[in-house]
Amino acid sequence: MSLEQVIFDACQQRESENFFVGENIPQRKLQNVFKEYPISSDEQIFALVDTTVFGSAKQGAVLTNMGIHVKNSWTGDVREGFINWHDFQYAEFSHTNRFSSKELWIDNLQIEMSGSSLTPPIFLQTLSYIQQCIHNYYDQRGQQQANSHHPAAPPLPGLETWMVAVDGEQYGPYDEQTIKGMIQSGQISGTKDYVWKQGMDNWALIKDSAPFSSYVAPAPPPASPAFQEQPATDEQYKEIDVNTAALGDLLSLPYITLESANALLLRREALGGAFESIEQVEEVLALSPHEFERIRPYMKVAGSQKSAFQMGGRVIDF
């Protein structure tokens, strides 16, 4: 996967009604972006933050495959600027979110956001997420390059070697000490994976092979009925309003993890403080159908207002 794809995917993960991505950038805004920003002909627009009061997108931030273009109104300390993705990965972020001053800084690059419904803290979270994805990309690529330059050394001549089978795939050969280390580190399972060496008629479970059996931890005995956790019953759950629920309220429902609860709160804030439908909640939670159907009776969406936002734009297709 290319760095461009990583950045575009990261933008899609953080898309909201105020952070337009790909084909969901309205055409009118897109036309103004090409007029007002120094976008080169070989750039692809990934995402847009419109910081204008009336939604013209003549000021804001444009994320492309090259970096981030910024254009502020005449009131901004920095009229316009650009940071490429290489420099962005090392950038530091800061922001102010007062009524009279809503600004976000990428190093010395200012984004004046007073006219945007996207708040600086939320946009900062988006930029931090993109930055982390870039770091992960370079870390993985560096590890792959290191592995290609330093292949695993073969066993020394004269040592007895073994093959290992994991999920039907064969690996090796390895010497005994290497396999023992793999068992202890959890890379292979003594009760599920197999070994074989020359002279053996068949593959054998690792736990049944003499050199390795003592390295396989015995399975714990079944829990006493008195200490077994009792399954939760639906009667213990109370209905919550997702538009007013706190973190603890969300975590009181089954299947909702800390990660998904935080995602709901972030999405709610990005939507202006209220979900419009329970289907939006379902989309954020990304549970299996039967899981969501179980908790659906205990969630409601109250006090929301229908958004007049209309989607449109062009497609960025990888």
Q: What is the pLDDT of residue 100?
A: 62
Confidence of residue 201 (pLDDT cuts 50, 70, 90): confident
Q: What is the pLDDT of residue 12?
A: 93
* CATH numbers and ranges of domains, the chain: 3-145 (2.30.29), 161-215 (3.30.1490), 234-300 (1.10.150)
- Higher confidence at residue 17 or residue 208? 208
Of 134-138, 198-202, 312-316, which gets the smallest average pLDDT?
Answer: 312-316
CA distances for 112 relative to 84, 108, 207, 239, angstroms? 19, 12, 63, 40
Mean pLDDT, the chain, as a whole number?
81
* Cis? peptide before 173, omega within 30° of 0: yes
Confidence of residue 130 (pLDDT cuts 50, 70, 90): very high
What CA–CA distance (Å, rounded) separates 104 from 111?
A: 5
List, as one string, the DSSP characters of 236-262.
G---EETTT--HHHHHTSTT--HHHHH
Q: In what order do the strands lie in the sheet containing 20-21? A: 20-21, 45-50, 60-64, 67-71, 80-84
Confidence of residue 158 (pLDDT cuts 50, 70, 90): low
Confidence of residue 111 (pLDDT cuts 50, 70, 90): very high
Query: Is pLDDT at 144 greater than 80 in this prediction?
Result: no
Of 60-74, 188-202, 234-248, which gets the smallest average pLDDT?
Answer: 234-248
How far out from the chain centre does Cα 288 lie?
18
Neighbours of 106 (CB within 10 A): 21
pLDDT mean over 188-194: 88
Q: What is the pLDDT of residue 63?
A: 96
Query: Is pLDDT at 155 greater than 70 in this prediction?
Result: no
Q: What is the pLDDT of residue 8?
A: 94
The pTM of this model reads 0.47
How far out from the chain centre does Cα 237 lie?
29
pLDDT mean over 194-206: 89
Q: What is the pLDDT of residue 49?
A: 95
Per DSSP, 230 falls in state: P
3-class secondary structure, 38:
coil
Query: Which residues contact residue 50 at a Cβ distance below 8 angstroms, ignoring those fewer than 6 apart?
Result: 18, 20, 29, 56, 57, 59, 60, 116
Confidence of residue 45 (pLDDT cuts 50, 70, 90): very high
Q: 45-50 and 299-300 as β-strands: parallel, antiparallel, unpaired?
A: unpaired
- Max avg pLDDT among 100-104, 140-144, 149-153: 100-104
Q: What is the pLDDT of residue 167?
A: 81
What CA–CA distance (Å, rounded) separates 154 from 136?
A: 30
